[in-house]
Amino acid sequence: MSKPRDVVVLGSTGSIGTQALDLVRANPDRFRVVGLTAGGSNPDLFERQVAEFAPAFHGLGEEASVEAAARGCDVVLNGITGAVGLRPTLAALDAGNTLALANKESLIMGGPLVLERAGAGQLVPVDSEHSALAQCLRGGTPAEVRRLVLTASGGPFRGRTREELAGVTPEQAMNHPTWDMGPVITINSATLVNKGLEVIEAHLLFGIPFDRIEVVVHPTSVVHSMVEFVDGSTLVQASPPTMLIPIALGLSWPHRVPDAAPAVDWTRPETWEFFPLDDEAFPAVALARRAGETGATAPAVYNAANEVCVEAFRSGRLEFNDIVPTVSHVLGLHDVPSEQRPEGGLTVDDVLAADAWARAAASRVIDGSACEGGE
């Protein structure tokens, strides 16, 4: 690389953002921070980051992230968690910047709205599973792809029946066996909502129909995802559980960053196990498929309702086993006649209105009040 890439990091104090800055520190010849933003939950850390990297622009809050994403740079890393990442995603794409996307919610919500603004090669996935798929897809043409296989660790409750999940606590749900992530993503991993979101994301990113996207449980999280080709060959992307590799690829795509993270130690015995997904105990993936197949604003409703449910679970107002049924109930209320759904001409206002409606509807359901259908 002839000169460092100018990088804007959105969500710099979160897990993705701090690891991205670790990579910048380790590779000053490759990357230069020109913008930093954060939500404001850790202002002391943000001040230290600004002092260290001296970006041309920095700020706290959603508007700061929108402004930073629109500034001229080589790559914007969207490491924001939640629906608040949508407007910065659109701003980065509209500005023509390469977008390294860790904020899956903005793609889930925006769907066609995001894709129609993204030019060829402009959208680079940072989720470990989708980064893995993007790497494996280099091994064949689109016509040669039979199916995508997303791996799921199974979270802290892998192997439990639905009955055995009754009464689990937020502390138990936060005890992920292989990944260190923020609270929302960690609980989403425990319910497998996160994997449901990733199925929708894979469909949108790679244009593969839902019936050719599968999920398997892989407890050790060494295989990050796989692509099966029409001749029976399967390409696997593997590394120890780390986000450093997909973040590094997101910042430098299509180039690799030497020594971004340790590789698998092939001199030691290694066993890879895969198990089928238990849809009865963990119905979130099947529900996400239905939302994704419905399209329009249904994925936004799935995501927004879940965010409200996760917060209610964390605060003790909702049982773990009630998270996905509540999301399903809200989706059912949203199932208005098709002529009332925005088709093709989805707008930011449509998405944000559906998001707001779903949050209000989920809150009413959680509070036990009656909820009427429609938006």
- 294 and 208 in a single domain? The answer is yes
**CA–CA gap between residue 89 and residue 101 (Å, rounded):** 8
Is residue 158 within 8 A of residue 178, CB to CB? The reply is no
Place of tokens 């949050």: 359
Position 375 in a domain: no
Position 237 in a domain: no
SS3 readout for 103-157: CHHHHHHHCHHHHHHCCCCCEEECCHHHHHHHHHHHHCCHHHEEEEEEEECCHHH
Residues 6+ apart with CB under 8 A from 119: 93, 96
- 167 and 115 in a single domain? The answer is no
Q: Residue 339: is its pLDDT beyond 50?
A: no
Q: pLDDT tens digit string along 101-124? A: 999 889 999 998 999 999 999 999
**CA–CA gap between residue 310 and residue 192 (Å, rounded):** 12
- 37 and 100 in a single domain? The answer is yes
Task: Band the pLDDT of 335: cuts 50, 70, 90.
Answer: low
User: Where does residue 132 rank: exposed (0-12), middle (13-18), buried (19+ CB within 10 A)?
Assistant: buried
- 70 and 170 in a single domain? The answer is no
Residue 20 identity: A
**CA–CA gap between residue 222 and residue 96 (Å, rounded):** 34
Is residue 228 within 8 A of residue 147, CB to CB? The reply is yes
Other Cβ atoms closer than 10 A to 39 = 21
Residues 6+ apart with CB under 8 A from 323: 191, 193, 306, 309, 310, 313
Q: For the chain, what's the residue count?
A: 375
- 174 and 74 in a single domain? The answer is no
Which range marks the domain in which residue 197 is found? 140-221+277-366
Peptide bond into 342 cis (omega under 30): no
| Averaged confidence pLDDT in the chain | 92
What would you report as the CA-atom Rg of the chain, rounded to the nearest whole angstrom?
A: 20
User: Where does residue 276 rank: exposed (0-12), middle (13-18), buried (19+ CB within 10 A)?
Assistant: exposed
Percent of residues, the chain, with pLDDT higher than 90: 85
Cα separations (Å) of 280 from 156, 174, 176, 293? 17, 21, 21, 20
**CA–CA gap between residue 78 and residue 92 (Å, rounded):** 9
Q: pLDDT tens digit string along 43-73? A: 999 999 999 999 999 999 999 999 999 999 9
Which of 174-188, 214-228, 266-280, 318-332 is the least confident region?
Answer: 174-188
Residue 244 identity: L
- 78 and 25 in a single domain? The answer is yes
N-term to C-term CA, the chain:
50
Query: For the CA atoms of 54, 59, 182, 293, what is the dihedral angle to 10 degrees?
Result: -120
Position 348 in a domain: yes
- 85 and 173 in a single domain? The answer is no
Closest of 141, 83, 128, 144 to residue 353, by C-alpha: 83
Position 155 in a domain: yes
CATH number (domain holding residue 107): 3.40.50.720
Task: Band the pLDDT of 341: cuts 50, 70, 90.
Answer: very low
Position 230 in a domain: no
pTM: 0.91
Total structural domains within the chain: 2
- DSSP state letters, 297-361: THHHHHHHHHHHHHHHHHTTSS-GGGHHHHHHHHHHHT---GGGS--S---HHHHHHHHHHHHHH
Position 170 in a domain: yes
- 149 and 122 in a single domain? The answer is no
- 247 and 216 in a single domain? The answer is no
CATH number (domain holding residue 282): 1.10.1740.10
Q: Residue 255: is its pLDDT beyond 70?
A: yes
- 43 and 185 in a single domain? The answer is no
Place of tokens 């066609």: 112
- 65 and 178 in a single domain? The answer is no
Position 214 in a domain: yes
- 118 and 149 in a single domain? The answer is no
Query: For the CA atoms of 17, 151, 208, 212, what is the dihedral angle to 10 degrees?
Result: -170
pLDDT value of position 81: 86
Q: Which of 235, 252, 269 is the last residue of a domain?
A: 252
Position 269 in a domain: no
